[in-house]
Copies of this chain bind each other. A is one copy, B any other.
Amino acid sequence: MIRLGIVGATGYTGVELLRLLVPRDDVEILVVTSRELQGTKVAEHFPTLRGHLDLAFCGPDDPGLYDCDAVFFATPHGVAMHSAAALLEAGVRVIDLSADFRLKDRFSWERWYKTKHTSPELIREAVYGLPELNRDSIRSARLIAVPGCYPTAIQLGFLPLLEKNLVALDRLIADAKSGVSGAGRQAMEDYLLCEASESIRAYGLSGHRHHPEITQTLTQVAAKPVHLTFIPHLTPMVRGILASLYAPLDVGVSLCEADLQSIYEARYASEPFVEVLPAGESPATRMVKGSNKCAISVNYFRETNTAVVLVVEDNLVKGASGQAIQNLNIMFGLDESTGLKGIVLLP
C-alpha cells in the first residue's frame, strides 16, 4: 500500500488526481491539503466524491505529509519549491504538477515566472516526467517535474521527427487548441461561459510560459537548437488539447507518408498511452476525454514538403494528473497503466 498526499487539491488537477486514485486498492490517500478549506470535507467541496472519499482538507503544512511515500503538488507555481526539500529529506518522493522544476535554466524560469527560485539546487535533480522520453530516470527519481499540458502534446508529436533528424529545426510550428479547463478554476471574466463559449481566439501572442519548456526538450532531443513558433488558442469546450504541428522536412529529405507513419508506429509501439492512428484518421479531442491516452495522426504534404502531425490529449489527464500518476506507477515499480485504463465516455 503506497501512502499518498496531495497538496492543494481544490482545483481541477487536484480533483482529477482524486478521481483516478481513490478507486485504487494499492494506494491510500493519507492527506489532502488546502489553505482555504482546512477542516472541510473534500466530498463537500467536490460532490462527485461523495460516498467515495471520507477525508477532510488539512492545512498546507500538515505533518501527515511526512508519513507519505509520495506527495503530489497540485498547486500554482511557486509553492512546491518551498516545501520539496524538507519532504525529500524526510524520504518522501515528490511529484510536482506545477512548473517549479520544469526548466533546467533557473534564470529562464525566474524570467518567465517572475519569481525568485528558492530551491535552485533541486532543479538539477528533478526529472522531467515525460515517460516516453525519460522512463529510466523516472524509476529512481525522488523529484518529478510533471510536464505542462501543451508541452506533453507538442513534445510527443515532434519527438520521432527530431530523433530521426528529418526536419528543419529553425521553423517548427505548433498551433495548439485547448479547452477552457486549461485555465484552471479561477473566477476570471475571460473564462465565463458568456465570454468563452461560441468563440475561438489565439492568446499568449507575446510569449507563453510553456514555450521554453517545449524547446528545452526538443533541443535536448535534437542535440541542436530548435526554433518554434507556438500559438495557443482558447477553444469553446471544457477539456482537451489538439496540437496541430507543422514541420518542414529538411532539404534533401525525401519521404512518403507511409515512411512517416512507420517511423511513428515504431517509435511508440510499446508505449501504453500513445496511440498512432491508422493513416488518414484524424483525432478528435473527445476521443481521449478523461483518458490518459495521447492519439497521434501523421500526415505528409508533398506540395510544401511538410509533415503535419496532429496530437490530441486530455489536458487534465495526460496533460497533468494522469501523467503524474503514470510517473507514480513507474517510480514504485507498478504496472504503468494501473488505474489509468478507464474507457472514454461517448458521447
Residues of A with Cβ closer than 8 Å to B? 12, 15-16, 18-19, 22-23, 46-52, 170-173, 175, 177, 180-181, 185, 187-189, 191-203, 205-206, 227-229, 231, 233, 235-240, 242, 244, 246, 248, 275, 280, 282-287, 289-290, 297, 299, 301, 303-306, 308, 310, 312, 341-347
Contacts and interface: CB of A to CB of B under 8 A. Distances in A.
A22 B304 contact: no
Indicate how many identical chains form the complex. 4
B233 A345 contact: no
A282 B192 contact: no
Given A192-B192, A299-B205, A23 B173 contact: no
A343 B22 contact: yes
Contacts of A231: 244, 308
A22 B342 CA distance: 10
Given A202-B310, A242-B202, A23 B342 contact: yes
Contact of A200 (B235, B280, B342): B235
Nearest to A246: B173
Given A233-B244, A248-B171, A303-B228, A238 B181 contact: no
Contacts of A175: 175, 244, 246
A346 B48 contact: yes
B171 A304 contact: yes
Contacts of A22: 343
Contacts of A236: 193, 235-237
Contacts of A286: 198-199
Nearest to A178: B200
Contacts of A229: 246, 301, 303-304, 306, 308
A343 to B, nearest CB: 5
Going nearest first, the 9 A-B pairs with the smallest beta carbon separation are A199-B286, A201-B284, A194-B347, A48-B344, A175-B175, A193-B193, A193-B196, A180-B193, A187-B187
Contacts of A341: 23
Nearest to A51: B275
25 contacts: A18-B343, A19-B344, A22-B343, A50-B275, A170-B304, A173-B173, A180-B194, A181-B194, A181-B347, A185-B192, A192-B192, A199-B289, A200-B235, A200-B242, A201-B282, A202-B244, A202-B283, A202-B310, A205-B282, A231-B308, A233-B244, A236-B236, A290-B345, A342-B342, A345-B345
